[in-house]
Amino acid sequence: MSVLTRKERPPGADVPDGPPAGAARRMRPWTPYAFLAPYLALFAVFMVLPIGFGFWTSLHEWDVNLPRKPFVGVENYTDLFDPGSVDGSRFWTAMRATGIFTVASVPLLIVLPLLTALLMNGRFRGRNVYRAVYFTPYVLGVAVVGFVWRFLLDGNIGLVNHYLGLDVQWTTDVPPAWVALVGVTVWWTLGLNSVIFLAGLQDIPRELHEAAMVDGASARHRFRAVTLPGLRPVMVFVVNSTILASANMFGQSYLITGGAPADQTKTAIYLIAETGLRQFDMGTASAMSFVLAAFLMAASALVFGAFRERDRT
Amino acid sequence: MTSPLSRRSFLGLTGAAGLTAALTACGGGTRIGADSPPAASAAPSFAGGEYTGPKVTLDYWNGFTGGDGPHMRAMLEAFNKEYSGRIEVRNVTRRWEDLYPAMPTAISAGKGPDVAVIHNDWIGTFAARRTLIPLDDVVGALRLGESDFIPAVWNAGVYDGRRYSVPLDVHSLGDYWNRAHLEKAGLKAAPADRAGYQDALAALKDAGIENPFWMPSKWPAHLMFMSLLWQFGGELYSEDGTRALWGSDRGAQALAWMVEQIDKGFSPAKVAQDSQYAAFKNDKVSFTWDGIWQINDLKANAPSLKWDLAPVPNIGGTAAVWASSHNFVLTAQAGKDPAKVQAAKFFIDHMSRRSTEWARAGMIPARNSVRRDPAVAGLPQIGLAADVNAFHFLPALPGVGDVQSKALELAVAKAVLKEASPADALKEGVATADKLLAENKRKYGG
Inter-chain contact A70–B273, Cβ cutoff 8 Å? no
Domains of chain B, with CATH numbers? 56-168+325-393 (3.40.190.10), 173-321+399-445 (3.40.190.10)
What letters, b where the CB count within 10 A reaches 16 and e where it falls short, cover A213-251? eeeebeeeebeeebbeebbeebbbebbbbbbebbbebbb
Q: Give the mean pLDDT of B392-402.
A: 89
A88 CA: distance to closest CA in chain B (Å):
10
B417 touches chain A (CB under 8 A): yes
Inter-chain contact B15–A274, Cβ cutoff 8 Å? yes
pLDDT of B308: 94
Given a cut of 90, whether residue B325 has pLDDT beyond it is: yes
Paired residues of B61 in beta bridges: B92, B116
pLDDT of B40: 43
pLDDT of B43: 55
Inter-chain contact A280–B432, Cβ cutoff 8 Å? no
Instruction: Name the residue facing B402 among A63, A279, A283 (closest C-beta).
Output: A279
A168 CA: distance to closest CA in chain B (Å):
10
B195 touches chain A (CB under 8 A): no
Chain A residues whose CB is inside 8 A of the B271 CB are: 155-156, 172
CA distances from B13 to A278, B397, B403, B409 (A): 8, 16, 11, 10
Chain A residues whose CB is inside 8 A of the B19 CB are: 278-281
Distance CA B223, CA B245 (A): 16
Which of B10, B13, B14, B24 to mutate: most A Cβ within 10 Å?
A: B24
Chain A residues whose CB is inside 8 A of the B278 CB are: 154, 157
Q: ipTM of the assembly? A: 0.81
pLDDT of A84: 85
B419 touches chain A (CB under 8 A): yes
B20 touches chain A (CB under 8 A): yes
Q: What is the dihedral of CA B410, B412, B415, B418, to 10 degrees?
A: -70
Instruction: Name the residue facing B26 among A70, A85, A157 (closest C-beta).
Output: A70
pLDDT of B30: 44
pLDDT of B44: 65
A270 CA: distance to closest CA in chain B (Å):
13
Non-local (6+) Cβ contacts of B69 within 8 A are: B3, B93
A277 CA: distance to closest CA in chain B (Å):
7
Q: Give the HSE-up count for residue A73: Cα atoms under 13 Å, Cβ half-sphere.
A: 5
Instruction: Name the residue facing B436 among A86, A261, A282 (closest C-beta).
Output: A86
Distance CA B339, CA B57 (A): 10
B282 touches chain A (CB under 8 A): yes
A293 CA: distance to closest CA in chain B (Å):
20
Given a cut of 80, whether residue B67 has pLDDT beyond it is: no
Task: Name the band, by pLDDT with cuts 50, 70 and 90, for residue B2.
Answer: very low
Distance CA A219, CA B49 (A): 90
Chain A residues whose CB is inside 8 A of the B408 CB are: none
In total, chain A counts a number of residues equal to: 313
Chain A residues whose CB is inside 8 A of the B22 CB are: 279, 281
B25 touches chain A (CB under 8 A): yes
Paired residues of A63 in beta bridges: A281
Instruction: Name the residue facing B23 among A258, A277, A281 (closest C-beta).
Output: A281
Q: Give the mean pLDDT of B274-279.
A: 93
Q: Give the mean pLDDT of B46-63.
A: 89
Distance CA B124, CA B395 (A): 9
B34 touches chain A (CB under 8 A): yes
Given a cut of 60, whether residue B366 has pLDDT beyond it is: yes
Distance CA B420, CA B405 (A): 18
The architecture of the domain spanning A96-312 is Orthogonal Bundle (1.10)
Cα torsion B379, B197, B5, B306: sign: negative
Given a cut of 70, whether residue B351 has pLDDT beyond it is: yes
Distance CA B174, CA B323 (A): 10
Inter-chain contact A66–B282, Cβ cutoff 8 Å? no
Which of B23, B255, B436 to mutate: most A Cβ within 10 Å?
A: B23
B335-350 per-position pLDDT tens digit:
999 999 999 999 998 8
Q: Give the mean pLDDT of B91-111.
A: 90
Distance CA B105, CA A283 (A): 16
**Per-residue pLDDT tens listing for chain A (313 residues):** 444 444 455 554 455 555 555 555 667 889 889 999 999 999 999 999 999 999 999 999 988 777 778 899 999 999 999 988 999 999 999 999 999 999 999 999 999 999 999 998 888 888 888 888 889 999 999 999 999 999 999 998 899 999 999 999 999 999 999 999 999 999 999 999 999 999 999 999 999 999 999 999 898 999 999 999 999 999 999 999 999 999 999 999 999 999 988 899 999 999 999 999 888 889 999 999 999 999 999 999 999 999 887 655 4
Inter-chain contact B35–A62, Cβ cutoff 8 Å? no
Chain B residues whose CB is inside 8 A of the A162 CB are: none
A79 CA: distance to closest CA in chain B (Å):
7
Residues 356-415, chain B, touching A (beta carbon < 8 A): 402, 406, 410, 413-414
Instruction: Name the residue facing B28 among A70, A79, A261 (closest C-beta).
Output: A70
What's the mean per-residue pLDDT of chain B? Answer: 87
Angle, alpha carbons A6-A11-A16 (nearest 5°): 55
Non-local (6+) Cβ contacts of B116 within 8 A are: B60, B61, B62, B99, B103, B328, B329, B331
Task: Name the band, by pLDDT with cuts 50, 70 and 90, for residue B296.
Answer: confident
Non-local (6+) Cβ contacts of A179 within 8 A are: A170
B147 touches chain A (CB under 8 A): no
What letters, b where the CB count within 10 A reaches 16 and e where it falls short, cover B173-198? bbbbbbbebbebbebeebbeeeeebb
Residue B381 is given by DSSP the state G
B399-411 per-position pLDDT tens digit:
898 899 999 999 9
Chain A residues whose CB is inside 8 A of the B20 CB are: 63, 66, 279-281
Inter-chain contact A258–B20, Cβ cutoff 8 Å? no
B216-259 per-position pLDDT tens digit:
999 899 999 999 999 999 999 999 999 999 999 999 999 999 99
Q: Where are chain A's structural domains? A: 96-312
